[in-house]
A and B are shown apart, each in its own frame.
Chain A
Amino acid sequence: MIENSLTDLWHGFGVAFQPHNLLWCFVGCVIGNIVGVLPGMGVMAAISMLLPLTFGMKPVAAILMLAGIYYGAQYGGAICSILLNLPCHPPHAVTCLDGYPLTKQGKGGTALSITMISSFVGASFGITQMIFMAPLLVQLAFKFGPAEICSLMLLGLLAGSTLAKGSPLKGVAMTTLGLLLGVVGSDINTGMPRFAFGVMELYNGIEIVALALGLFGIAEFLKSVNNVAPINAQYTNVRMRDMRPSLADLKLAGWPMIRGTLIGSLCSLIPGTGPTIASFVSYATEKKISKTPERFGNGAIEGVACPEASTHSAVQGDFIPTMSLGIPGDAVMALILGALIMQGITPGPQLIKEHPDLFWGLIASFWIGNILLVFLNVPMIGIWVKLLTIPYKYLYPSALFFICIGVYSANNDLFAVGETLIIGMFGYVLLILGFHPAPILLGFVLGPRLEENFRRAMLIQRGDLTVFVDVYNHPIAATFIGLSVLLIIGQIYVRLRPKKDLNIPEMPTAKAGQPAE
């Protein structure tokens, strides 16, 4: 089993080192890093903007690049948090708490280098976990029938919508809305157009690029325009030689780094708890077990090391359910899954067998990409820091054009641009009403497959809904449903219980320009 994995991994390195794939992995990491650094730009927007450009590429190169954007942005996002105190990317919001005080004390360089080391440690563990976990999960998943897939999707959707940011009820509402949007277009079984209202362009369904760019691009711009705090660039003169950490700092950061990594990898295994939750949990844990908790928030190096390690380990672990089961844990993964589907690849347990190039190449590219990113970030820190100071007024008009042409080139159709605009305006309304639109995408991508499997399960079981609670004949499905029920009960319990101090750090005040992810 393990030997097989290692042989396959070796094969994966062969794939990832093909010049063509290596180039796109590099491009993805660089773009991700840039997007991560730029205040007011989100990973979601970046991935969906570049998604149309990947249509002409080979599947492996396309996925390598899109994945590179995702983990590359995590490296860049940390720079933004530490030097500017801007939680540009939600997983790095916690890093602001100690990263910025360190910067103010003139130790920004040290904080950055510790971040890079922790990121690498976390990511390495996450990747290793994926190498061994994914094939195991696949073996289990091959036993799944439609009822099992259906209940697993239900669990994934529930977890993705209730554990993410904001009110769980609103999250469920957004997921359901996403499922509904996924219905638009021709019905798979009968070919009947649904919710198309006679518009020909809607017969093929809503364009995923239009949906993602409307919600995470245009809606964000509408919310952030003239609403972005001016950037305080007073501490951004960090150079490479400021980045050498002292031995004492390294010693201090060592254990928190490892604990953060483990928490991150645990969080990535629970569907719906992505990197953001991982970073908050690990910070809270670290503060709790620390002998000097009062240092946290005033520039403790541990407070930078542990959330960063756990973020990166969770980011890599995030790919496990997506690639092995075909069930994405959050909106970014939903988008990657959408990219797979558009490349003509059916996500699911058969993916590893049918497309070993893709799966093992992706894992190998994670290693390459992470090493690349460390090299990109340490010597070139000066350049990234310069990027921090680009004002929003130059950013959003350029990005808007990119969105327009990106959506157009997905289908060579200007109708989709209008679609994006309307979705964007609707997304803005949702944003100001306190909804977080990320679960919409999750529902949208899973919707058609959920419906298909539900219909199939009901057909096989002759319309007997008890299949989902049948412990004897379908124990796996029943387990997933049981977990879903537990999740709901847990949420209600947390709601009704009088609020105590949970020792979870307070989110630095969300400034405008912070992408909703």
Chain B
Amino acid sequence: MQINDRRDLYGGGLIMLIGAGAVLEGRRYDLGTLQQMGPGFFPVALGVILLFIGAMIAIVGTAAHAHDEQHVRIERPDWRGWGCIIVGVLSFMLLAEFVGLIPAIFACVLLSAAGDRTITLYQALVLSSIITVLGVTLFAFILQVRLPLLKVLGI
């Protein structure tokens, strides 16, 4: 049974897109000559290589028959896990900036743990408490990371 590997088509396309972007942006810088290369020479050269390789990946991938059917399908992301991990990192950034390290660690671990479908609320709370205590001890007290612990309390 012949199944074309769609991943190579998309993957090759993505690489070509990046290459095209590099060429377009790189052309805004001075190319120079081969002897006196400007800042734009190297990126444009890389962009051209990427365009070429991207095309090769797409062509080879669609022309050759995929050998194993099970790997051909692009796996769907697990949206809950995705959302929670991203929100976890974002919450760390925002809370560390505006509120303090303690809530930042707690929220980061709790929210990202919520992405797992088997974890219970109790487990998640215990985990984030432990990591918060360990994290504050290690990073704030031992390694002296320069982030306020809790801005409201002024520490």
Contacts and interface: CB of A to CB of B under 8 A. Distances in A.
Contacts of A183: 42-43, 46
A418 B146 CA distance: 18
Contacts of A451: 42
Interface stretch (A168-176, A336-344, A352-360): A168-176
Nearest to B33: A463
A465 interface: yes
Interface string B16-38: 00100010011001100111111
Interface in B40-63: 40-43, 46-47, 49-50, 53-54, 56-57, 60
A189 interface: yes
A173 B147 CA distance: 39
A170 B57 contact: yes
A195 B38 CA distance: 14
Contacts of A428: 77
B57 A405 contact: no
A400 B15 contact: no
B115 A225 contact: yes
Interface stretch (A10-18, A27-35, A299-307, A408-416): A408-416
A24 interface: no
B5 to A, nearest CB: 8
A401 B34 contact: no
A434 B7 contact: yes
B57 A190 contact: no
Contact of A173 (B54, B119, B135, B139): B54
A433 interface: yes
Contact of B35 (A180, A412, A459): A459
B91 to A, nearest CB: 10
A408 B96 contact: yes
A398 B143 contact: no
A225 B35 CA distance: 51
A221 B93 contact: no
A433 B36 contact: no
Interface string B70-106: 0100110110111011101110110011000000110
Contacts of A226: 78, 80-81, 115-117
A169 B53 contact: yes
A408 to B, nearest CB: 7
Contact of A462 (B35, B56, B113): B35
Contacts of B117: 226
Nearest to A227: B78
A414 B97 contact: yes
Contacts of B26: 194
Given A173-B15, A397-B131, A405 B145 contact: yes
Contacts of A2: none
A192 interface: yes
Interface string B103-141: 011001110110111110001100110010001000100
A398 B18 CA distance: 33
15 contacts: A172-B53, A176-B53, A180-B43, A180-B47, A180-B50, A190-B39, A221-B112, A222-B82, A225-B84, A394-B123, A396-B116, A414-B97, A429-B14, A433-B11, A459-B36
Interface of B: 5, 7-8, 10-11, 14-15, 18, 22, 25-26, 29-30, 33-43, 46-47, 49-50, 53-54, 56-57, 60, 71, 74-75, 77-78, 80-82, 84-86, 88-90, 92-93, 96-97, 104-105, 108-110, 112-113, 115-119, 123-124, 127-128, 131, 135, 139, 143, 145-147
